Amino acid sequence: MLVRLGFPLGLLLLAALASLIIALGIGSAQLSPGQVWQVVLGHLGDIGQDEGNALARTMVLELRLPRALSAFAVGGLLAVAGALMQVLLRNPLADPYVLGLSGGASIGALAAMLGGLGGLAISGSAFGGALVSTLLVFGLVHGSGSWTPSRLLLTGVVVAAGWGAVITLMLALSPAERLPGMLYWLMGDLSYARAPWSPLLLLLATCVIVMPLGRSLNVLARGPQQAAALGVAVRPLEWCIYIVASLLTAAAVTTAGSIGFVGLVVPHMLRLLLGNDQRLILPACALAGGTLLMLADTLARTMIAPEQLPVGVITALLGVPTFLFLLYRSR
């Protein structure tokens, strides 16, 4: 058991560390691997902090590191949220982006930004938006008594389309000089991300909290009747999943705007490779999603430097062909 879970997770952890090293080592400023290494060493052992290294230190520790860690946290959050939604809906299409959670969170955040609010207010507003979206979708589907995953999915997709229209309206009404910033933000962008703390902690906490639920989630993935027969409190668990997914999405959206396809593609790839055991899939999603976004962001900020690309473009460009391939193969 421990080996079966530990081996893939260990590999993914190694991959995450490797991509962290890549993210720290590559940038538009040409630092040699030796310089980067010295910065890390100097930081570890308190040596080599001479003047010549000051610039390299700033680059690596104050520009690249916070951004890389934010990317990791956001990717992990989105992938875990996607995996949870897919269990909940027993539908491979489910992800926070498709189901309107990202849209709701984006509207909350954009409204706060337009209102001149900042910091915590934006996060709170984004969470509110994600929660409203959740309640709307679930409320509409539950209201009619019995519900099917496909009905929930359809409702989510339509709500997402509605949020899309509201976002377009907000963009059309906002001052012209703010447009480029808002558009970039909507495409997903990590250049704002400076404080990786809260998303990282949230990701860690989610993994710790959700892990014990793994068995129940495994049962739920087989269907609510079976889960109920096996003694799982289905309704509370479903609500719990949805609220956790909203929280994760809101945290991800406030850190980096709305980034698509991480929540969709990462859980799928892992399920194909590792099977459908949620105890393994959820932490694996956290690691793999984080790794993917960290690498995508490294590409986004270096590909045509000094011009910066929004990371959402890279994840979508990577995600779309991957998803099409998976879909084609699964026929």
Partner 1 sequence: MANKTANQTLFKHRGATGPALLLSRLILSLSMLSGVVSNAVLADDHSRCEMDDRSRKVCLYTPAQRIATLSPGATELTYAAGAGDQVVAVVSYSDYPPEAKDVVSVGSHTRIDLEALVGLAPDLVIGWVTGNPAEQLETLEALGMPVFYIEPRNFEGVASAIERLARLAGTESAGQAVADNFRLRMAELAAQYRDREPVRTFYQVWDEPLMSVNDAHLIGQVIEICGGVNVFGEQARLVPRIDDEAVLAANPEAIVAGGMGEENRHWLTHWEQYSNLTAVADDNLFFVPPSLIQRPTPRLMEGSQILCEKLDIARQRRERD
Instruction: Select from 98-106, 188-196, 226-234, 320-328 the region that touches partner 1 (CB under 8 A).
Output: 188-196
Asked if 28 interacts with partner 1 (CB under 8 A), we say yes
Question: Residue 107 and residue 104: Cα distance in Å, rounded?
Answer: 5
Closest CB to partner 1 among residues 46, 212: 46
CA-to-CA separations, 258 to 17, 27, 90, 199, in angstroms, rounded: 25, 23, 24, 15
Alpha helices in the chain (DSSP H): 2-25, 33-45, 54-57, 65-89, 101-114, 120-142, 149-173, 179-187, 197-210, 214-220, 224-229, 234-256, 262-274, 278-302, 311-329
Least CB distance from residue 315 to partner 1, whole Å?
Answer: 17
* Site map (CB under 8 A) of partner 1, residues 114-153, x = contact: ----------------------------------------
Question: By the 8 A CB rule, do 77 and 85 touch?
Answer: no
Among 13, 37, 43, 318, binds partner 1 (CB under 8 A): 43
Among 95, 189, 238, 297, binds partner 1 (CB under 8 A): 189
Among 178, 273, 275, 321, binds partner 1 (CB under 8 A): 178
Instruction: Select from 159-167, 180-188, 206-214, 236-244 the region that touches partner 1 (CB under 8 A).
Output: 180-188
Among 3, 44, 212, 225, binds partner 1 (CB under 8 A): 44
Asked if 7 interacts with partner 1 (CB under 8 A), we say no
Asked if 307 interacts with partner 1 (CB under 8 A), we say yes
Listed in sequence order, the residues at least 6 apart from 183 whose beta carbon sits closer than 8 Å to its beta carbon are 171
Q: At what angle do helices 149-173 and 101-114 cross, to 10 degrees?
A: 20
167 DSSP 8-state letter: H
* Site map (CB under 8 A) of partner 1, residues 49-88, x = contact: x-x--xx--xx-xxxxxx--x-------------------
Among 268, 271, 279, 301, binds partner 1 (CB under 8 A): 301
- Tally of residues, the chain: 331
Q: Which amino acid is at 150?
A: S
Among 22, 191, 221, 299, binds partner 1 (CB under 8 A): 191
Instruction: Select from 152-160, 195-203, 226-234, 253-261 the region that touches partner 1 (CB under 8 A).
Output: 195-203
Closest CB to partner 1 among residues 143, 180: 180
Question: Residue 265 and residue 278: Cα distance in Å, rounded?
Answer: 16
Ramachandran sector of residue 188 (left: φ over 0; alpha: ψ -120 to 50; beta: rest) = left
Ramachandran sector of residue 29 (left: φ over 0; alpha: ψ -120 to 50; beta: rest) = beta
Question: By the 8 A CB rule, do 89 and 153 touch?
Answer: yes
Binding site for partner 1 (CB under 8 A): 27-29, 40, 43-46, 49, 51, 54-55, 58-59, 61-66, 69, 172, 175-178, 180-181, 184, 189, 191-192, 194-197, 200, 301, 305-308
